[in-house]
Amino acid sequence: MISKTDKLLKEFINLHPKFIDLSLSRLEYLLKKLGDPHKKLPPTIHIAGTNGKGSTLSFIKNILKNNNYSVHTYTSPHLEKFSERININNKQVNASRLLKSLEFVKKINHGRPITFFEITTAAAFLLFARFKADFLILETGLGGRLDATNIIPKKFLSIITSIGIDHEEFLGDTLKKIATEKIGIIKNTNNVIIAKQNKEIENFIFKKLKKINNIYYFNKDYKFKTIDTKKFFYQFQNIKKKFSKPSLEGDHQIENASTAITAAIVLKKNNYNIKISSLGKSICNTKWPGRIEKVKFKNKIIIFDGSHNLSGAEKLNQYLKENNIRPNIIFGMLNNKKAFEFLSIIKKNIDILYPIQIPDEKNAYTQKEIYKVAKKLNLETLIINNFNTINRLLMNSSNKYILITGSLYLIGKIRKKYL
């Protein structure tokens, strides 16, 4: 039976003819009617980027928690339940509070056109303003400049994680265009961190930010006020020796952890009580489901990875190659993504591919469409319509590893079957 919250969320999808329509005007109007909760938020850390936003947020959240700070967080998308997106004082929002907030914004919006992400962001801001916390960490939904989260007037810290090609239909078809949208969150910000980027984007961002009169902390030495990166990486190497590597898998998580530790040092420089001795434990105990997440199931190791763009595929491929893993793969993807290019990147490090259409997602590739793509790449591919049959075959195969990838939506539908 569908819950009141899920029913309401489905209603919100129909409030606007487009699921994505980047603008701040509709949300600005609604927030004004709600009493401007976005102007009553705790000190805010705002994160944009193509990959690594959620992991970086999780690392920072864990660092703050381990230093006795209370934290609100806002992430998207969710894996299984919408409430995963909103954390109040270090805990997932409870069902009653969430429903009341959603019902209230529905009432105040009064049927006016507004996107799903905009109206649910308004509900989140209501909750964040109502309950006190030391910090709020916001992850952008899409882009940055016109993302609903970018409506807040002032941020303590803005972070740009790794930038790659994704959502070209909304953000532009070049890295420079996408970067321009992402760095749009850097407004009224006291501190900025730019995570590791490719050379083209590093230079582009550097030139853009030279024109803005703020203080910048880079994960790389430029002619701005910077953190001593040599000392910083030395500290992190010591942390790694003491606590092993981050619990999140993949070398890219070292980069995300580095960005989070840079944020911790910025906080410390701004007189927040962050103990350097807490960082190793914080990094190594961080959890972020669905991102190269390994789960033991019977005699198999299941790897859940929600990668859906090309830079995500490259990081996944690097992980498989470096760990000498050649798994059977269950693959599903939304049809606005590049399935051929994604599979081209990982094809040498996968065994048998089982295409699947993401359940209850009308904008997903069909099994036959994925099969055709895989055959063009000469991948050994089997179409089996029943997921339970796929599962039985995988459980009885000689391959120890099963990889499920292509979409966080797919991970959300399947992950609970193996936990």
Task: Judge whether residue 168 has pLDDT over 90.
Answer: no
Q: What is the chain's mean pLDDT, rounded? A: 89
Q: Where in the chain is the domain with CATH 3.40.1190.10?
A: 4-284
Reported in sequence order, the residue ranges of 195-254 that DSSP labels E, i.e. its strands, are 215-218
Q: What are phi and psi of 236, to 5 degrees?
A: -70, -35
Q: pLDDT-derived band of residue 419, with 50, 70 and 90 as boundaries?
A: confident
CATH class for the domain made up of 4-284? alpha beta
Task: Judge whether residue 2 has pLDDT over 80.
Answer: no
The answer to whether the beta carbons of residues 381 and 374 sit under 8 Å apart is yes
Say which DSSP state 94 is in.
P
Q: Where in the chain is the domain with CATH 3.90.190.20?
A: 293-418
The answer to whether the beta carbons of residues 159 and 47 sit under 8 Å apart is yes
CATH number for the region 293-418 comes to 3.90.190.20
Separation between Cα atoms, residue 107 and residue 115, nearest integer Å: 15
For 368-414, write each residue's pLDDT tens digit: 999 999 999 999 999 998 888 998 999 999 999 999 999 999 999 99
Is residue 88 exposed (0-12), middle (13-18) or buried (19+ Cβ within 10 Å)? buried
Per-residue model confidence (pLDDT) at position 276: 86
DSSP-assigned beta bridge partners for residue 45: 137, 157
- Which one of 189-198, 220-229, 234-243, 364-373 scores highest in mean pLDDT? 364-373
DSSP states along 42-77: PSEEEEE-SBSHHHHHHHHHHHHHTTT--EEEE--S
Separation between Cα atoms, residue 308 and residue 259, nearest integer Å: 22
Task: Judge whether residue 226 has pLDDT over 50.
Answer: no
For 55-72, write each residue's pLDDT tens digit: 999 999 999 999 999 999
Torsion of CA 293, 195, 335, 348, to 10 degrees: -60
- Which one of 249-253, 360-364, 399-403 scores highest in mean pLDDT? 399-403
DSSP-assigned beta bridge partners for residue 328: 402
Could you give the percent of the chain with pLDDT greater than 90?
68
